[in-house]
Structure 1
């Protein structure tokens, strides 16, 4: 398996990864697939933090981070997601490899926090904690149990407040 930054040619394969990974109903495109397309089109997808996993040259997984606002600050926190892996490659370490790679890249880019909405049982293994323990509030209070944050080297305790995803998330 190889992890690398996405290229423009990867767009259709990334769309397919999220369509298949999040499919709930046959014939219905899950929101995660067009979300990535919209983040990219809006210029909110952070290119060095949009990574693909390749197996035998085929894109089998994708993770991305997008611009976000935390309180009055737009530069310290990023929103992670979606993270998707083709069903045939799930439970084989692809998602974990993508998570480790994107967290390392976000840290190297100087971001203080990575924030996501997801399953605590899965994301806690990567150091994520409930965001409210860091005084970070979700856009929707109902998300609290699943709204998580991971501090990075540039984190400062003053990085707190209301978290706001890139506008494409609001259009879901």
Structure 2
């Protein structure tokens, strides 16, 4: 039986998180994004999944704003979600998403946006229909949103500055 646990990431997890991101994506871009979001103070919820004391999964939600005219609404962006390849298909990614959603709702967040596989993220309530009204450099079927309460359905998505750097890279 698995003894997987989920907890808040700590500074001592940085190297293990970097390795999980690099292994999961096969490149350093996502690990660099995580480092930049943490350094810039834009992380809202960051969790790790551990199996027998080893970090095998990671999820990060950062601050995102929906801007419409002079109104600015705080939301979150899910990026990235990573699981060690040898643990794919074990439910770790889903467990990280569900736990993070509970923490976000408890903190009063009402809107989350993700860029990813609609078949996967749709299992957690994300839909492109909910995100279709947003203006974004990432607009397309992979851009999805999930609202837990009153949240705008239109406006410009303003991601943390680390995403601009990642997009330019």
Task: Give ranges in structure 1 of 5+ residues lacking alignment.
Answer: 24-28
TM-score where L is the length of structure 1: 0.87
TM-score where L is the length of structure 2: 0.89
Q: Which of 94, 97, 113 is the aligned partner of 1:96?
A: 94
Residues 131 and 169 from structure 1, CA distance in 2 versus in 1: closer, same or farther, beyond 3 angstroms? farther
Query: Residues 14-43 of structure 1, C-alpha deviation per residue, up to 9 Å, x if partnerless?
Result: 0000000000xxxxx331011000100011
Distance 1:131 1:109 in 2: 25
Does residue 168 (structure 1) correspond to residue 167 (structure 2)? The answer is no
RMSD over aligned Cα atoms? 1.5
Distance 1:38 1:106 in 2: 21
Q: How many matched pairs?
A: 160
Distance 2:99 2:10 in 1: 16
**2:66 counterpart residue number:** 70
Does residue 156 (structure 1) correspond to residue 150 (structure 2)? The answer is yes
> 2:113 touches 2:143 (CA, 8 Å); kept in 1?
yes
Residues 133 and 86 from structure 1, CA distance in 2 versus in 1: closer, same or farther, beyond 3 angstroms? closer
Does residue 11 (structure 1) correspond to residue 14 (structure 2)? The answer is yes
Counterpart mapping for 1:28-47 below 5 A = 29-46=27-44
